[in-house]
Structure 1
Amino acid sequence: MNLSNNYWISNNAAIPLENRKILNEFLLSYKLANKAEATITKYKSILERFLSECTVPIEELTSDDVLKWFNEYSIDKKEKTLDLVLSSLSSFFKFCIAEEYLGQMVIKKRWRPKIPHSLPKYLTEQEYARVKIAAEKLSIRDRALVLFLFSSGCRRSEVVQLTIKDVNIDRRTAEVKGKGKKIRHVHFSEECALILKDYLSTRLLKSTDPLFLNKHGKPLQQNGIYLVISKLGKLAKLNQSLHPHSCRHTFATNMLSKGAGLPFIADELGHSNLNTTRIYARIPTEDVILAYQNIMG
């Protein structure tokens, strides 16, 4: 992500000046709270649209004003999109109330769509085996990247920030900067360590260099990781697309099936809230399915 731009500042001229000033105070509060750039950018986009289309001064805003805008916005939108919009507006209005720009909450809980909790998309044992076989056809860099993603559970946004000094190959650990710039230590497999060592031996190294480079010798970006993993899914002839986050979900389900506790998995994944990790406990692992079949037939 490009941290040089002022992504937390809105210059949208369609927003009345006083409302834009309050919006920028809100966005700055998120920046100072070390919220992820992606989060701030998404909230900014949603709030800019709302405040440019609903131009009532914030101190005069009513539930009717918000509902009128929301009903118009909702046409042909997915429930998850609507839920995100309401969450963004709610966070903004809570800030406005705390700063005394608004007297009361102008969003009603009943407006929230009911969204079924879908299970994370992960690879089964057989699919994972096919992916690992297919990965052997990739370049040494791509093999190292794939093994690192599957055995560390890192987000691709975390991998692109890694430098060589962040990784201890002998101890098979890496110091990762996660959401909110929180530092955590993750682990990776012995196989990953061997391939990673081979990959790094092909490069002239400085400790501050990125762990993974693209073919032009520049830092590998998130889109580059996406392309590698997507290509791997096609090589493995999977029935569904393979995405970088599937590697993270597969890591978590593999850990769970091997007996790891949810608090340990949460630490490895960088979840600050254990409830985020609990969704993996709802996934029927191979062992659970086998036990069921043995008992029930």
Structure 2
Amino acid sequence: MADSVFNSALNEFLRYLTDVRQVSQHTISNYRRDLTRFIQFLESQKLKAWERVDAGHIRFFSAYLKRQNLSSKSIQRNLSACRSLFSYLNKENICKTNPAQAVSAPKADRKLPGTFDADQINALLDFIPEDWIEFRDKAIMELFYSSGLRLSELVSLNVQDLDLRSGQLVVTGKGQKTRALPIGRHAVSALQDWIEQRPLDSGHALFTTQQGQRLKQRSVQERLKHWAMKQGISGNLHPHKLRHSFASHMLESSSDLRAVQELLGHEDISTTQIYTHLDFQHLAQVYDNAHPRAKRSKK
């Protein structure tokens, strides 16, 4: 990194993050990459001092990133890094303003996975387990679709989190917040079968390897891909797609957005509105049944 007033300040900022804030090396690497790009942009604008950087330059930088085909999420991260850097420069009296503070990041693209329809779900789960791995995998897939769990929530489950007699479980989600969820009868049956097959020395973990160790997220993802191929399911099968299918099917059947929000563990209902969707046929049916002037008169 060539020596300049910009690069010197960046090095000091990264040292501050490492020594004082004790930020992880992964985060430091991201800051270094994003802010090096920012400094290269400033130098291309013939700027030589932090005081000369204004909100217009930050907006131009954001537009430049967009032209480089960076995603909205990446642009947001770059602008956040700029705000953090200028906050540090203000604290060190290197400059007096934070021009990045006035610049809004573009809205993130909310790309959602497609869903499986009910027939595809049935085809995926229509098999009789033949060994302990298959009992485990079927219980995992049934529970994903039954209760709409996140992958991190599923792998962190312990046996004592389940109450199969009453058909419910307690899960710890984002922000360490717990919520109680119902378990469907097919998932209850699959879980009962798995628990009978589960290695005796598995400790508290619900889903384990053959050695009794807690199953890792990556292993679950790989097993879902295996079953998609084995059952002839087209499309990429991953945990989030099963969660999305659960949410969509629940909303299509119930139209109860608040209930689906609670089941998914969303803080904000707007997240649920984006995460779930009603197909047009269902919307049209609701419209025809509910709107006073949509109903056709009987002749």
Q: Structure 2 length as normaliser, TM-score?
A: 0.71
Q: How far is the alpha carbon of 1:216 from its aligned partner?
A: 3.2
Aligned position for 1:270: 265
1:106 to 94, 100, 110: 100
Mean CA deviation greater in 120-129 or 266-275 = 120-129
| Structure 1 residues 90-105: aligned runs within 5 Å | 92=84, 103-105=97-99
1:235 to 230, 233, 243: 230
Q: Letter of the aligned partner of 2:32 in structure 1? A: E
Give yes or no for contact 2:115–2:241 (8 Å, CA) kept in 1: yes
Structure 2 runs not aligned, ≥5 long = 1-7, 43-48, 295-299
| Structure 1 residues 238-249: aligned runs within 5 Å | 238-249=233-244
Q: How far is the alpha carbon of 1:52 from its aligned partner?
A: 4.7
**2-side partners of 1:289 and 1:241: how far apart?**
29
Quickly say closer, same or farther: Cα 1:66–1:132, change in 2 above 3 A. same
Aligned position for 2:34: 50
Give yes or no for contact 1:27–1:44 (8 Å, CA) kept in 2: no
1:89 to 51, 76, 81: 81
Quickly say closer, same or farther: Cα 1:153–1:279, change in 2 above 3 A. same
Q: How far is the alpha carbon of 1:265 from its aligned partner?
A: 0.9
Mean CA deviation greater in 41-50 or 143-152 = 41-50
**2-side partners of 1:189 and 1:206: how far apart?**
27
Q: How far is the alpha carbon of 1:22 from its aligned partner?
A: 5.0
**1-side partners of 2:20 and 2:163: how far apart?**
41
2:137 to 130, 142, 159: 142
Determine if the alignment matches structure 1 residue 221 to structure 2 residue 213. Answer: no
**1-side partners of 2:113 and 2:218: how far apart?**
21
Larger RCO (alpha carbons 8 Å, 6+ apart) = 1
| Structure 1 residues 49-198: aligned runs within 5 Å | 49-54=33-38, 62-63=54-55, 66=58, 76-86=68-78, 88-89=80-81, 92=84, 103-106=97-100, 109=103, 112=106, 117-133=110-126, 139-198=134-193
**1-side partners of 2:146 and 2:25: how far apart?**
30
Q: How far is the alpha carbon of 1:254 from its aligned partner?
A: 1.4
Q: How far is the alpha carbon of 1:225 from its aligned partner?
A: 0.9
SS at match of 1:185: strand
SS at match of 1:16: helix
**1-side partners of 2:128 and 2:283: how far apart?**
28
Mean CA deviation greater in 217-226 or 74-83 = 74-83
Q: How far is the alpha carbon of 1:159 from its aligned partner?
A: 1.0
Give yes or no for contact 1:234–1:241 (8 Å, CA) kept in 2: no
CA RMSD of aligned residues (A): 4.1
SS at match of 1:198: helix
Q: Deviations over 1:84-129 (max 9, x none)?
A: 42464377479769979863341564762x6665454211122222
**1-side partners of 2:116 and 2:239: how far apart?**
12
Q: How far is the alpha carbon of 1:145 from its aligned partner?
A: 0.5
Determine if the alignment matches structure 1 residue 252 to structure 2 residue 247. Answer: yes
Give yes or no for contact 1:167–1:173 (8 Å, CA) kept in 2: yes
Q: Deviations over 1:140-168 (max 9, x none)?
A: 00000000111111111111111111222
**2-side partners of 1:54 and 1:84: how far apart?**
13
Aligned residues: 272
Q: How far is the alpha carbon of 1:290 from its aligned partner?
A: 6.7
Structure 1 runs not aligned, ≥5 long = 1-12, 29-39
